[in-house]
């Protein structure tokens, strides 16, 4: 018997490796799985893994049981299923989803816990829909209020974006779905996005534009990154030596997969050598070429194979790409988890409503007009955005939703029998929205003359106790939409005119800006209450009503600066080469753009004196923000006291001095004193959101870490801490400093 067992054991050891399939073993170390799978692959199979086979999928290896990789937009919800090689929807009847608030709203919560909830919920929806890669979140910095896709991103400040993106990624990837952080890098506008060559200093690159991506990789552990369309240092970002090799791989040690934007790859040699792992969206009829440019013609498909077979390139780059793709697969579809996700359940809907309610920003509330008082009986709701579905449209983040509660529906539902709610159009924008074969709001056609529409609204306003104007932008072309920037800073469709007319007949008026961007507010003195309402998805109407009626005490803070006019932004003071870019003198189709405002984006510019502003841009702009970065009111009030610095720890006591519970995002800014190099007056370096009952006090503690004080020395190419004094500012907004302490680095 013993002999038999011994010979059996020996036989087992000799069994050919083909049967010890380590790559299939989800408990095996992932790098062993990668190497085991790699050595089993043929050249054709390797190439199949690194480029698309359809609009949103890349091939697996059927022979080895390695699944197809399915990608899906977008940052706010799971895009409707599309046909194999189309952008248009496939007409499925089981792919309606939850639309979560736009990421500007998530950023405005200043609450990383909300990001974790968000990531988990959207990750579950992606998993349920059978997707392995979620094409989001986006963290490009808000450099200009005209950028068509600011609503998909997290504002103007690198610390806010970096802090808020990490939990989102962790939440998504906890479901076994890869986040694909985009668009790496310097994709800060939509105009000319496919060709613009961005010129930016190393300091601005490292201190402003990269931190959120670095945090996504190093703290978030992002499993994939999407290269952007634009160029940097003359190379397309989807195959860019500096961004993808020098920074992403060598400096940040990224071990995930680099995925091109759709159509972002345009050169085989650079794609081979500069770090692109997966090529999507190149030559199909969804972009610029007909079906004849089938997937075999992708740059990393037959052209790459031909170079290898001709001995012109080796296979080491190919194997590295395949390793990154295999690692992505073993982290997602082959991770061995027994998880199935969930779709449109009450938990997700509650998360969407909660984040929206916590991200809405109460910008102004003169006379305490809000929350709506019970003495108010007749409420007039005005504006197309009160009824227009806004989850369809805006480009790749467009969604087919299970439902969408409009602001009007939310207000009517909450008002119930206690209030008499009337609605008038007030202004007519574009009526129905059509995208990817989906039509929403078809019933919104309104052919009446403007004068008639306005007269109706003014007459109704005379009779109302409260007017709630719901306007803003609407994700139509040039109105916060992918592919094109806004054409103006002012509100479109004659909104400014009707708002002024309504305010003239009824001083009790609220303006709700449904947008992902700042807008001009020429009527601000006549409108006592102003809310930044965001594109808030399926639960938009419920969340807005929660805030308007006071069921939720607003606690959002602005993730970007709202200046009075477009020319008050530095990107709009130095001519076309600074924005939107100018034609390259030799190749007019290629744009060149120079970020000459450098570090001084948003409040970093607003903090400058007119003299310093003139030195920077040549314009002695004296304008101050209408509403500052980090600003947001509450229905209660908060006092800051006892600011103390002990060693590396700064503490401050926050007290709710009002009569109702509320939340406050306590912000910590650092102001270097007499720095040796040009530095912003102050920079956000930490924030904490706390909830306080009326009368309750809580002490908030911040640890002062060296990296909060450092700047990027572009001569030494490293982060540097200079000795000296650094003023620590505890604040309720970048323009509302509540306490100070001096920190010294010997
Ligand atoms: C688009 C967008 C990108 C999106 C991709 C797929 O052009 O730039 O954000 O994920 O293509 O739709």
Q: What does the pLDDT look like over 493-544, one tens digit per residue? A: 999 999 999 999 999 999 999 999 999 999 999 999 999 999 999 999 999 9
Report the alpha-carbon distance of residue 627 to residue 613 in Å, rounded: 19
Report the alpha-carbon distance of residue 574 to residue 570 in Å, rounded: 7
Mean pLDDT taken over the chain:
95
- Res 431: pLDDT: 72
Q: Cα(first)–Cα(last) distance of the chain, in Å?
A: 77
What atom in ligand 1 is closest to the CA of residue 229?
A: 8
Using one digit for the tens of pLDDT, what is the confidence trace for 21-70? 999 999 999 999 999 999 999 999 999 999 999 999 999 999 999 999 99
In the 3-class helix/strand/coil scheme, how is 231-279 assigned residue by residue?
EECCEEHHHCHHHHHHHHHHHCCCCCEEECCCCCCCCHHHHHHCCCCEE
Q: Of 133, 337, 121, 330, which is closest to residue 224 (Cα–Cα)?
A: 133
Q: What is the mean pLDDT of residues 471-488?
A: 97
What atom in ligand 1 is closest to the CA of residue 193?
A: 8
Residue 387 — pLDDT band, cuts 50, 70, 90?
very high
656 C-alpha to ligand 1 centroid (Å): 44
The residue contributing the CA closest to ligand 1 atom 5 is: 262
Q: Is 168:115 a contact under the CB 8 Å cutoff?
A: yes
261 C-alpha to ligand 1 centroid (Å): 6
262 C-alpha to ligand 1 centroid (Å): 6
Report the alpha-carbon distance of residue 537 to residue 528 in Å, rounded: 26
pLDDT at 289 over 70: no
pLDDT at 14 over 70: no
The residue contributing the CA closest to ligand 1 atom 7 is: 262
Using one digit for the tens of pLDDT, what is the confidence trace for 408-459? 999 999 999 999 999 999 999 987 778 888 887 777 889 999 999 999 999 9
Poorest-pLDDT segment among 290-294, 306-310, 378-382:
290-294
Helix axes 346-359, 540-548, angle to 10 degrees: 50
Q: Which residue would you say has higher pLDDT here, 10 or 564?
A: 564
pLDDT at 3 over 80: no
**Residue 262 CB less than 6 A away from ligand 1:** yes
What atom in ligand 1 is closest to the CA of residue 135?
A: 10
- Res 4: pLDDT: 67
**Residue 476 CB less than 6 A away from ligand 1:** no
Q: Of 556, 558, 557, which is closest to residue 547 (Cα–Cα)?
A: 556
- Res 303: pLDDT: 92
Using one digit for the tens of pLDDT, what is the confidence trace for 391-405? 999 999 999 999 999
- Res 286: pLDDT: 41
Q: How many CB atoms lie within 10 A of CB 232?
A: 23
Q: Of 91, 49, 51, which is closest to residue 67 (Cα–Cα)?
A: 49
Q: How are beta strands 133-134 and 178-184 bridged, if at all? A: parallel
**Mutation pick for ligand 1 pocket among 55, 56, 72, 73 (CB with most ligand atoms within 8 Å):** 73
263 C-alpha to ligand 1 centroid (Å): 9
Q: Please, is 347 exposed, middle or buried when counting C-beta atoms within 10 Å of its C-beta (0-12, 13-18, 19+)?
A: middle
**Residue 261 CB less than 6 A away from ligand 1:** yes
Q: What is the mean pLDDT of residues 644-648?
A: 98
Q: Is 261:226 a contact under the CB 8 Å cutoff?
A: yes
Q: Is 96:69 a contact under the CB 8 Å cutoff?
A: no
- Res 1: pLDDT: 64
**Residue 190 CB less than 6 A away from ligand 1:** no
pLDDT at 669 over 50: yes
The residue contributing the CA closest to ligand 1 atom 3 is: 261
Query: Residue length, the chain?
Result: 746
Using one digit for the tens of pLDDT, what is the confidence trace for 108-166? 999 999 999 999 999 999 999 999 999 999 999 999 999 999 999 999 999 999 999 99
Residues serving a catalytic function are 261
Q: Is 260:226 a contact under the CB 8 Å cutoff?
A: yes
Alpha helix ranges (H) inside 129-237? 158-173, 202-204, 211-218
pLDDT at 15 over 70: no
**Residue 152 CB less than 6 A away from ligand 1:** no
What residues form DSSP beta bridges with 236?
231
Q: How are beta strands 133-134 and 69-72 bridged, if at all? A: parallel
Using one digit for the tens of pLDDT, what is the confidence trace for 675-722? 999 999 999 999 999 999 999 999 999 999 999 999 999 999 999 999
pLDDT at 9 over 70: no
**Mutation pick for ligand 1 pocket among 52, 148, 287, 482 (CB with most ligand atoms within 8 Å):** 482
Q: Using alpha carbons only, what angle is made at residue 151 by residues 149 and 156, rounded to the nearest 5 degrees?
A: 90
The residue contributing the CA closest to ligand 1 atom 6 is: 262
Residue 283 — pLDDT band, cuts 50, 70, 90?
low
**Residue 282 CB less than 6 A away from ligand 1:** no
**Residue 489 CB less than 6 A away from ligand 1:** no
**Residue 629 CB less than 6 A away from ligand 1:** no
């Amino acid at each position: 018997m013993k002999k038999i067992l011994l010979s059996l054991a020996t036989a087992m050891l000799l069994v050919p490796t083909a049967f010890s399939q380590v790559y299939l073993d989800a408990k095996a170390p992932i790098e062993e799985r990668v190497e085991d799978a790699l050595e089993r692959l043929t050249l054709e199979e390797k190439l199949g893994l690194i480029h698309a086979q359809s609009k949103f999928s890349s091939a697996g290896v059927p022979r080895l049981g390695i699944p197809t990789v399915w990608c899906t937009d977008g940052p706010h919800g799971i895009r409707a299923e599309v046909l194999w090689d189309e952008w248009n929807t496939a007409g499925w009847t089981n792919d309606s989803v939850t639309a979560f608030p736009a990421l500007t709203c998530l950023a405005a919560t200043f609450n990383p816990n909300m990001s974790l909830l968000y990531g988990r919920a959207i990750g579950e929806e992606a998993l349920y829909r059978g997707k392995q890669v979620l094409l989001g979140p986006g963290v490009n910095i808000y450099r200009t209020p005209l950028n068509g896709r600011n609503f998909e991103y997290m504002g103007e400040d690198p610390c806010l974006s970096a802090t808020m993106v990490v939990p989102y990624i962790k939440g998504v990837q906890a479901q076994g779905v890869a986040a694909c952080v985009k668009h790496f890098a310097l994709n800060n506008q939509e105009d000319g996005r496919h060709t613009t060559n961005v010129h930016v200093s190393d300091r601005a690159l490292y201190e402003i534009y990269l931190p959120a991506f670095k945090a996504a990789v190093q703290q978030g552990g992002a499993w994939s990154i999407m290269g952007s369309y634009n160029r940097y240092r003359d190379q397309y970002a989807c195959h860019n030596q500096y961004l993808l090799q020098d920074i992403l791989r060598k400096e940040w040690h990224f071990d995930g997969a680099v995925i091109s934007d759709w159509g972002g790859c345009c050169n085989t040699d650079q794609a081979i050598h500069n770090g692109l792992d997966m090529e999507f969206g190149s030559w199909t009829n969804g972009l610029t070429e007909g079906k004849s440019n089938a997937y075999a013609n992708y740059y990393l498909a037959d052209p790459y194979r031909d170079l290898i077979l001709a001995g012109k390139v080796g296979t080491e780059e190919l194997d590295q790409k395949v390793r990154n793709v295999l690692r992505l697969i073993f982290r997602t579809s082959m991770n061995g988890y027994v998880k199935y996700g969930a779709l449109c359940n009450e938990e997700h809907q509650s998360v969407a409503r909660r984040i929206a309610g916590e991200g809405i920003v109460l910008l102004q509330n003169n006379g305490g007009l809000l929350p709506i008082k019970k003495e108010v009986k007749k409420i007039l709701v005005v504006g197309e955005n009160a009824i227009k579905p806004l989850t369809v449209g805006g480009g790749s983040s467009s969604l087919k939703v299970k439902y969408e509660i409009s602001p009007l529906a939310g207000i009517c539902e909450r008002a119930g029998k206690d209030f008499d709610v009337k609605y008038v159009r007030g202004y007519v924008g574009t009526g129905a929205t059509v995208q990817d074969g989906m039509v929403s709001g078809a019933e919104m056609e309104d052919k009446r003359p403007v004068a008639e529409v306005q007269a109706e609204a003014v007459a109704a306003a005379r009779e109302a106790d409260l007017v709630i104007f719901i306007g803003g932008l609407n994700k139509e072309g040039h109105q916060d939409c992918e592919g094109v920037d806004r054409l103006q800073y002012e509100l479109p469709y004659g909104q400014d005119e009707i708002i002024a007319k309504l305010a003239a007949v009824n001083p009790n008026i609220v303006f709700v800006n449904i947008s992902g961007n700042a807008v001009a507010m020429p009527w601000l003195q006549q409108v006592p209450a102003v809310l930044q309402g965001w594109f808030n998805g399926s639960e938009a109407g419920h969340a807005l009503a929660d805030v308007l009626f006071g069921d939720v005490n607003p606690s959002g803070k602005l993730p970007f600066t709202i200046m009075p006019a477009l020319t008050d932004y530095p990107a709009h003071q130095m001519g076309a080469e600074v924005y939107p870019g100018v034609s390259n003198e030799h190749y007019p189709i290629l744009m060149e753009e120079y970020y000459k405002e450098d570090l001084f984006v948003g409040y970093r510019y607003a903090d400058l004196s007119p003299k310093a502003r003139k030195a920077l841009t040549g314009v002695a702009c004296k304008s101050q923000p209408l509403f500052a970065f980090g600003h947001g009111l509450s229905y209660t009030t908060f006092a800051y006291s006892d600011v103390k610095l002990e060693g590396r720890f700064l503490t401050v006591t926050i007290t709710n001095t009002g009569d109702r519970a509320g939340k406050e995002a306590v912000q910590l800014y650092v102001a270097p004193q007499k720095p040796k190099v040009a530095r912003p007056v102050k920079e956000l370096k930490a924030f904490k959101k706390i909830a306080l009952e009326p009368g309750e006090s809580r002490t908030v503690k911040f640890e002062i870490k060296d990296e909060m004080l450092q700047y990027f020395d572009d001569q030494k190419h490293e982060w540097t801490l200079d000795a000296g004094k650094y003023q620590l500012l505890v604040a309720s907004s970048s323009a509302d400093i509540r306490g100070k302490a001096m920190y010294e680095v010997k």
